[in-house]
Structure 1
Amino acid sequence: MRLSRRRAMALGLAVPALLRTGRAKAATVLKISHQFPGGTATEGDFRDRLCRRFAELVSERSKGTLSAEIYPGSSLMKTNAQFSAMRKGALDMSLIPISYAGGDLPELNIGLMPGLVTSYEEGLAWKTRPIGQELTKFLAAKGVVIVTWIWQAGGAACRSRPLVDVADAKGVKVRGGSREMDLVLQAAGASVLSLPSNELYAAMQTGACDAALTSSTSLTSFRLEELAKHLTSGRARSYWFMLEPLVMSKAAFDRLSAEERDIIVAVGAELEEFGRSAAMQDDVRVAKVYEAAGATVHDLDDRLVQAWRALARDTAWKDYANKNENCARLIKLAMEVGS
């Protein structure tokens, strides 16, 4: 028998909240998947920590109507499936190198275009410049929203001989991290292989990979110092900057209330300073970790950066611009930021 509110009060029973206020809105739980090692809010890979801070802040500001569950180490789904899953609305959020989706959406290879971005300031300036606005529109049209802009400098871990100058690449089996980086390495005489960063340790351990280009954070999070005799560091200069944002399925974003969307956007923007600071700290820390493990650390100077940039301009930049009109427009806008 259904108990009316009046009957319940007459019987001296407590009136359930649903009877007093109507149907309560169920809390929204966002699933965030990424490929990096898990930790805590204060310890471990900063990309995992950033996701945990995001979850804590959105829960606090939404008074519990929003929460998030973190799935590190590709424990929810495989790395290369995450971007496509967000586009389909099958995954809520991920922190992922944007260039991982370059196979399906070649425009996104601009997120790891060698020599294009040469400082954190330049990369982070994209957000408010026409290049960032156009990239944001393009992603939204493909079903993905950028929540937090994160850039990382990269380096190279090498099993036997260093990879510092362009000439060093000849004959090396190397993981570049993007189609465009692979084009540059191939032009320098290397043979390339494509795999996500969480598979690098096994590839280097078996000898399938002689050298790996990846972010400073991944160079330590995936323990490559255990296998490398040389490190090319990004602590001074780098020709290798990667856009690795926290992103969200537009379908999931659009399902939220206006207030909840505002919270997502505000928290995402606030975490950008944490991401920049943590990435820069890792550029310094990685050199110390490799030195302690017995590796020789090599720093880049302006001459080396410009040599790699010149090769990239003649190969990867041209190849990208010739893909389609969108690519040509995006790289032109990106070049304006550094001019």
Structure 2
Amino acid sequence: MSVVTRRTLLGAIATSPLWLQAAWAQPTNLKISHQFPGGSVAEGDFRDRLCRMFAAEAERNTRGKLKFSIYPASRLMPSEAQIPALAKGALDLTLVPLSAAGAAMPELNVVSMPGLVTSYEQGYAWKDAEIGQEFKRVLAERGIVILSWIWQAGGVASRARPIVDPQDAAGLKVRGGSREMDMILKEAGADVVSMASNQIRKAMQDGALDAAMTSSSSLISFRLDEVSKSVTTARGGAYWFMLEPLLMSKTAFDRLPRDQQAALTKIGADLEGFARKSAQMDDAAVAALFQGAGGRTVDLNGDSLRKWQDIARNTAWRDYGERNATCARLLALAEKTIA
């Protein structure tokens, strides 16, 4: 910008009406929606805490130029509406299981594929591997930016017998949490029930559900120990891993100046350590929670894990890879990360 042009611009700002200057000075207000119970920065579901920590740090880093409103427990919109709203630019940020949009965007289901990720080390290695770079590109094409990679292991709460091997699910009404997990459960003889994680407690309480697979954090936050008799934890390994990232609308992200984009990207990455530690703490805490309530706690062993993987490979993995070329490419890249 030339000196004359800059002076002209500064002069225009100085002589502009006060209401116009005030409008230019207003901070950008961004909305964060998620489906998990609300709390505070210090207490509660770590996914809600992470959103609050992110908002506080972003506001501090940008000296108040960015402000955030956080809507927990699906208060702003239903959980299944969050990713479509994000993609259309109708929502700014969300922390949500990507499987919630798996029906409309089947490619996203690679991050909830049973048995494909079996450890936190493997999951977090995706970010800088070929699979992570390709997955970020696919999301960007759909108008979505990943700010924090958040992997969570999951377990199974059951009103009856614990579900350890696939045959244990036979004849039970089970919530799997993703299209692919549902395929495996059907193969194992279960009666599959689909619902968001925040609906599990009521369904189990009413007897509409016998067992539910969900993250350790959700097992705790939704107090499933109060409506279940047993839990299979992720402490000994898990075939149920899901990416539940902090996401931002690309429309909202692209509107920000580059320094603010860089700040949000760095803050999101810095919080991944907190997310990983918190998820692993929840894996251990859920066992103590159920034991304290008089329930039965069991863990998976290597043989049980392989049984679930064998079913997954011959059903869900095959089905996913055949859906389209992008799915096939993502699956092939993901399989490269399996030790």
User: Structure 2: which amino acid aligns with 1:308?
Assistant: W
Displacement after TM superposition at 1:16 (Å): 11
| Structure 2 counterparts to residues 241-252 of structure 1, below 5 A | 241-252=241-252
State the TM-score, normalized to the length of structure 1.
0.93
Aligned twin of 2:328: 328
1:280-327 alpha-carbon deviations (Å, 9 max, x no partner): 000000100010011100101111111111110011000000101100
1:168-190 alpha-carbon deviations (Å, 9 max, x no partner): 01111100000000000100110
Aligned twin of 2:7: none
Instruction: Answer whether contact 1:157 1:224 (CA < 8 A) is retained.
Output: yes
Structure 1 residue matching 2:156: 3-state secondary structure: strand
Aligned twin of 1:4: none
| Structure 2 counterparts to residues 177-196 of structure 1, below 5 A | 177-196=177-196
Residues 1:18 and 1:49: Cα distance change in structure 2 (over 3 Å) = farther
Displacement after TM superposition at 1:123 (Å): 0.4
User: Structure 2: which amino acid aligns with 1:295?
Assistant: G
Distance in 1 (CA, whole Å) between partners of 2:61 and 2:83 is 27
Aligned twin of 2:239: 239
Residues 1:28 and 1:213: Cα distance change in structure 2 (over 3 Å) = same
Displacement after TM superposition at 1:235 (Å): 1.4
Aligned twin of 1:9: none
Aligned twin of 1:129: 129
Residues 1:16 and 1:69: Cα distance change in structure 2 (over 3 Å) = farther
Displacement after TM superposition at 1:101 (Å): 0.6
| Structure 2 counterparts to residues 4-43 of structure 1, below 5 A | 24-43=24-43
Instruction: Answer whether contact 1:320 1:328 (CA < 8 A) is retained.
Output: yes
Displacement after TM superposition at 1:22 (Å): 5.8
Aligned twin of 1:146: 146
Equivalent residue pairs, number: 324
Aligned twin of 2:5: none
Structure 2 residue matching 1:48: 3-state secondary structure: helix
User: Structure 2: which amino acid aligns with 1:328?
Assistant: A
User: Structure 2: which amino acid aligns with 1:25?
Assistant: A
Displacement after TM superposition at 1:212 (Å): 0.2
Instruction: Answer whether contact 1:94 1:247 (CA < 8 A) is retained.
Output: yes
Aligned twin of 1:117: 117
Distance in 2 (CA, whole Å) between partners of 1:77 and 1:156 is 27
Instruction: Answer whether contact 1:97 1:111 (CA < 8 A) is retained.
Output: no
Displacement after TM superposition at 1:17 (Å): 11
Instruction: Answer whether contact 1:87 1:144 (CA < 8 A) is retained.
Output: yes
Aligned twin of 1:260: 260
Distance in 1 (CA, whole Å) between partners of 2:47 and 2:16 is 39
Displacement after TM superposition at 1:337 (Å): 1.0
Aligned twin of 1:315: 315
Q: Determine if the alignment matches structure 1 residue 279 to structure 2 residue 284.
A: no
Displacement after TM superposition at 1:160 (Å): 1.1
Aligned twin of 1:11: none
Displacement after TM superposition at 1:25 (Å): 3.1
Distance in 2 (CA, whole Å) between partners of 1:79 and 1:105 is 15
Aligned twin of 1:102: 102
User: Structure 2: which amino acid aligns with 1:97?
Assistant: P
CA RMSD of aligned residues (A): 1.5
Aligned twin of 1:6: none
Aligned twin of 2:210: 210
Percentage identity across aligned positions? 53
Residues 1:266 and 1:17: Cα distance change in structure 2 (over 3 Å) = farther
* Structure 1 residue ranges (4+ consecutive) displaced by more than 6 angstroms after TM superposition: 15-19
1:210-260 alpha-carbon deviations (Å, 9 max, x no partner): 000000000010011001111000012111100000000110001101111
Structure 2 residue matching 1:69: 3-state secondary structure: strand
Residues 1:328 and 1:63: Cα distance change in structure 2 (over 3 Å) = same
Displacement after TM superposition at 1:162 (Å): 1.2
Distance in 1 (CA, whole Å) between partners of 2:285 and 2:328 is 37
Q: Determine if the alignment matches structure 1 residue 225 to structure 2 residue 221.
A: no
Distance in 1 (CA, whole Å) between partners of 2:300 and 2:17 is 64
